[in-house]
Structure formats: C-alpha cells, structure tokens
Structure 1
C-alpha cells in the first residue's frame, strides 16, 4: 500500500512540476499600439502554424508556444523588421513546416509534378478510349 501511495505521489508531483512557472510573454496577448504595425503582425501570425496545435495558426492558438511566437513577432515588427525577414527566421528556426505558404524546394518538385503527370496520363488514356470507341 505504501508503494502504491509513493508511486501515486511521484506521478502527481511530476504533473504539477511540468506546469510552467514562467509568466506569459509580454506581447503574447497584448496588441501593438500602432494599428498599422499590428495589422502587419497579425497578417504574419495568420500564416504561421502553431507547433503545438498543428491545425491552427499562432494567431488563433491558445498554446503557450504560440503566445511566445506571437510576442516575438510583435517585438520584431516594433523593432522595424519586415514580415518576410521574420518569416525566414521562423522557418530557419522551426523548419519549413511552420509556414502555411508552400515552398518551391527542389526536393518537393515531385509532389508538385505528380498531379500534372497523373492528369496528363489520364487524358492520354481517355483519348485512347475515345479513338477506340470511334473505330468500333
């Protein structure tokens, strides 16, 4: 029984210690006072994928990582950085997957070319069927 209680206490203490004691990032949920800069930041945030949620942009996510990323974007926008430079920095830091905008990386060319190849093949097969049908 003591072993079971000790195991339960150990499991419970790890869950409690996993909670972040850090305060939220300063601009995680606070907008920039300049509306033009906030629009720039918001537009960029809508194109960046939340790494925790994976199906939401960081603009829509409540995850703490998304809040940190929102804060970093706002701080960099206020410092005068351009959104494309910030996007490049985020992609370098977190990988291509963080951006909703597709890349034209040569390794991905087969993914872009395969649908075109399949459509072309389908049209050739359709043309052959139509020609065969007219001969009959």
Structure 2
C-alpha cells in the first residue's frame, strides 16, 4: 500500500478517502472476526492493513500540511505520544472486551464501533468529506 500511495498520492477527495479508509478498516475487521478460514482471515487482515495505511498517510499529511511551520515539530511530537499511548490503551481495552464479551463478539463490536465513529464524524464534521490535500498550502 505504501508503494501504491507513493506512486498515486491521494490529493483530491482526501477527506472522503480518509473516511472510506477508516470505514473499510472497520468492515474488514468485522469480516475477519466472523471468518473461520485461515486464508480468508489472512486476506481480511491484509486488507485491513491496506485501509489502515491509507488512513495513516492521509491523517499524517493533513496534520503536517495544516500545522504552522514554527509548530510542526512540537505537534508531531505530541501526535507521536498520543499514537503510542493510544496503541497501549487499545490493547488493554481489547483484552478487557474479549474477556467480557468473548473473542469474536469483541472483534465484531470493534469493527462496528469504528464504522459508527466514521458516520458520526461525517455528520459532525461535514467539511472533512470535502477536503482536498492539493488545496492545502
């Protein structure tokens, strides 16, 4: 996915692609949770990684392009701290959810929650869907 994005950057409809990428990640996680075939699970994990990579690149680009030059290093450092700590907290939350709900329901719940957050974000921040990275200078 990194090679694809390097050759074909998402400069137009970037916000729409971001929302679709996150929703696609949620959908592939749901499919992964419901599948019992190793190769099908492998495919859905691969696809979820592709969707995640696209969303990370778009989010990183938005952050770098919209941050003033004199604040870019500080904002990047804080962003890195939040991403690192959110990964640790998410691992804890996933373990607790698996204990409380069971493995498959917790995976499906996580995917459904991801898609729900995309729809909520789309409704609360409608201009995100109209964002074009090529227009940010």
TM-score by length of 1: 0.22
Higher relative contact order (CA 8 A, sep 6+): 2
TM-score by length of 2: 0.22
State which structure, 1 or 2, has the greater radius of gyration over its C-alpha atoms. Answer: 1
